[in-house]
Structure 1
Amino acid sequence: MSNRRLAAIMFTDIEGYTALMQRSEVEAMGLRAAHRKIFDSFTTKFNGEIIQYYGDGTLSIFDSAVDAVKCGIAMQLAFQKDTQIPVRIGIHSGDIVLTEDDIIGDAVNVASRVESLAVPGSVIISDKLFDEIKNNPDIKSIYLDTFKLKNVKHPLGIYAISNHGLVVPPRKMITGKLEIEKSVTKRILAGAAIVLLLVAAWFVQDLLQVTKEQTIVLLPPKNYTGEEDLDYLVEGVHDLLYGDLCKVSDKLRVISPFTARALTNAGKSMSEIAAELDVDYFLETSISCVEGDNLCINPRLVEFDTEERQLWTEEYFEKKGEILNFNHFLVNKIADDINIQLTPDAELALAKSSSVDTAAIDRYLRGEFYLDQFNPMTITKAGELFKHAIAKDPDWGLPYAGLSLVIAYQMQLGFI
């Protein structure tokens, strides 16, 4: 017996559960039991229906989109207390077919893809579900971006619930089950390029080289200066480097800093992270001193196959105003050492000189630090710092991007 109905569909799962199970079955089972206890309690409280438990995850449905989101909020707040369970939650709404012990339908697949975009502590929803909850005064949300999800025909607008206590992932931190859209022109050009390469290979076979995709993790940066008030600088330099690495090539997969931090905070070793994420390289960065406008930067590149092998460790003494140029140099060095060919666009971007005013970059990095804390006071403070950065160096583009994000956040949250 089956019946068709409209429902809000919620998926949850515990991040890093598989690796935890390999490390300690007792600890993993305890974490799952705590997760299910909270999940059962709040699903019942908010009139939900539990459809399925699977490993470390759950599937449930709600007649009301508002109830589903309020349930997700309550669960995340509970997961963050005491046991600190790193749970991801995704919700979508649509037409489903409900059988005796399962649900089927395209909306279920979409909900699963939406959940894959979440990070621990967050509740991520689709634009369709957003339309059903946007007028509820108890629920706050922020638009993240439009994503092309795997096996989903049309791009989907994605929102994060931004009520107090929830994590709102920055756009650059979002990974998941995504597809990269290519324009028709790009496909034609790519096809032509492949044909030319194959023809050339008939005559000179060694001209055609197939490059394996490589994966690199930027481990959380270390502040060895002994001054906690310089965390903004250490984090900011690290984030700028992450942005440059992401531009290198589609043959280089760069794991998001949020994921790297979550796994590191969970006590995972390099070998455990490498096994879970199929990692080839790790990049560690630290700042050991700040002398006036100069920084002591210490990067270390590690290759991981079956065991850890250090490729190099270096020490650089750089001016703050030259940090963008230093990152360009470092990214070029890393690409050379791991045999990744830069795309033409990346090669052009990394070849540009990007010296900026020292005070401007300092204010920009402080602004990013405050913006990531995501509350009304810090968002306002970030806006002020980005304006100061623009005043110091009007030709530098990043502070304008930061200020645009501040305005977007304020509009989404109803501050302006």
Structure 2
Amino acid sequence: MTEQSNRRLAAVMFTDILGYTGMVQEDEQLALRTMATHERLIKEYVQAYHGRVIKFYGDGSLSMYESAVDAVRSAIEIQKRLRQAKVPVRIGIHLGDVVLRGQDIFGNGVNIASRIEQQGIAGSILISDRVQQQLTNQKDLRTKYLGWFKLKNVKIRVPIYAVDATGILLPPKPNLFKRWQQTQKWPYYAGLLILGLSAVALVQQGKLKSLLHGDLDDVFRERKEVIAVPVFENFTGIDSLDFIAKMASHWITKGLSDIGELPVVSYESVEDERPVNMASLSSLQNFGRSTGAVNLVMGSFSRRGRDSLEFSTFVKKASTGEVVSLDVPNIYVSMNNPLPGIHAILNHLRGYWASRNLHLSSVPSYGAYRSFIAAKAAWNKDRDRAEEYLLLSIQQDSSFFDSYDLLATHYTNEGRYVEAKEALETLKRSINGLSDRQKLKVQLREARIFGDNVDAFRYSLEEYAENPQDLFANTAAMVFALESVNEPEQCLEIFDRISLDSLDFGSCSYCNERVHLGLLAHLRLDDVEEAKEIATYFPARLPSRKYFVGLIRLAARESDTLLVNQIIQRAKIQLEDKTSHRYLYYLAAECFQLLNNEEFVHVYAQKTIDAYEHRPDRTVARAYYLLGKYERSIQFFDVLIAQNPEHIANIGQRAIIQARLGNLKDAERAILTMEGLRAEFQFGDVPYQQARVYLSMGKTDQALLKLEQAIQEGCRFYYWLFENDPDLMTLFRNPRFQEIVHPSR
């Protein structure tokens, strides 16, 4: 028989006695009795559940079953009996392809099962997601999701579950947010996060309970009935009424989200998807896979008479297209104000899913809601226009939360922090009785505005935990993980909750951002191969210069100057601003400086100067600095500072050069000058630049103190700061520096 004919799908189970080697050394007779008990119970219960013992190997065993369900039931009986006999064993099971050769089995399925078993503890049973899927209809077989694991010699991360049965131990779950457990390591940042309160006091207040205890079941509640409300279908034939389709999706999503235990895909994620064809099963399934939704609220509206609309709504299972037994009557409304009808649909749906009375914000005026939907539509195309619509919406209804919230977000993104602060203050004065979800949003916005980065990340995690597969909340949590608290591993754990293969890059405005963040996170972890794999998901055309940043860093890490040049030429062709690509030459020079490759530093610094045609620009001044042409660099900075005497980064960089030239008094004066330029909403810019100057003067302790201060004032971990700043390279191996740049630990 050929190997192909001996290939089959099978459930593979590994067992392993923990501590067996030490047991042999301490009590050989006990070790032998333990091994004999292990072998006896394996043989008995593998056979009882129609399995086959492939082999025993010292302190472990390998077995195979035709049924994953039988494998799990067998493992439960084995583990219970072994625990009664005080034999410390861990068990791992995977469903995959195996190759039978003689009396043995081989293949990737065997390797994965072995690696899964190694993640467990004595008394536990761990299974792969493929096995877990086979247990869906086995009501008595419960599991707990542990997370995505990078297994040795397995190319992709694997989701792992623990069997949750009486007598079976659950391993300590790999806490995505370990830093919340490490309160003893917060000597410098206690004030930043808890404002003088102890972590214990916060737990008592319930503010960090689920995260501090590291219980993923608190953080990721069971999500078996995730709901999404796709944009409604407009059957009127009147394109100008398309906004009503979005309005219906947004309002119903908003209302269902107020049901505390009900997981609902955010409107932002739904809006990002291609329209769903309610008659196409593949369209429903694709939408379900990409959003994580199980139930889809499908709706449409048609014209009835001259000025009326008829809404039709039902709920379908995304996986099967089956219509859920839910009686939502058709609703007839005026074409001039359909919002009361949409609200009536919401109430029917809410009554189906909710078991108690719930607070729901009052329905805004139709004009305010229409302006808000127009702002959402303009958001990614014309932010000025979006701002006009939001201000109009607030003018039309001063109690409409969503318009204030989006306006504050807009101001924050634009760096207009005073206006963002005022928008939130007006919101709190104008609206009474905010829901818990609304309060969380306000807390997140305020933390971001005031530079409370650890708190901002914590609030983003709370939103994310409501539905980890929500594209909008998931991507936002990635941003905060990487840029607010510099935790690339946690960024990637969040990233792995949504497969890139499930996303439609043709319609997804967040997809490029996810690839960008994932790429940068892997590079921060020096995982170049994974970064290269993620980079392949970038589309052929990239809309923004920032997406080229990760590609340049990756190409530089490989010392591939040909690829660096190709990326820059691609940016030159694709970017609307035909001059913005020039900065990428300088970025390449900095990347090579971080790699101590002086040859390529000089090549790309000179290319920068040539691209800018020697004009007085901060980038050109920095390029001269990289070339070691300090006097020329100072000349450029003098021009720039004369044009803007309050530009802190230019003052700081000029001071660094003066320090390198030995002019320490000039550097000291610059530090004092920067101190006098302090202002609100600078987010640690002054102490960060002062730290760079102190380090260039050889004052390491003062530099570290200033970096610590910069973090406390809200400095974020952008791709050009801290561990990406060549002027801080002498600190990279400093233990205190490593503590400072991970503020949430």
TM-score normalised over the length of structure 2 = 0.28
Report 1 or 2 for greater relative contact order, CA contacts < 8 Å, sequence distance ≥ 6: 1
User: Hey, which of these two has a bigger chunk of strand by percent?
Assistant: 1
User: Hey, which of these two has a bigger chunk of helix by percent?
Assistant: 2
| Structure showing greater Rg | 2
TM-score normalised over the length of structure 1 = 0.47
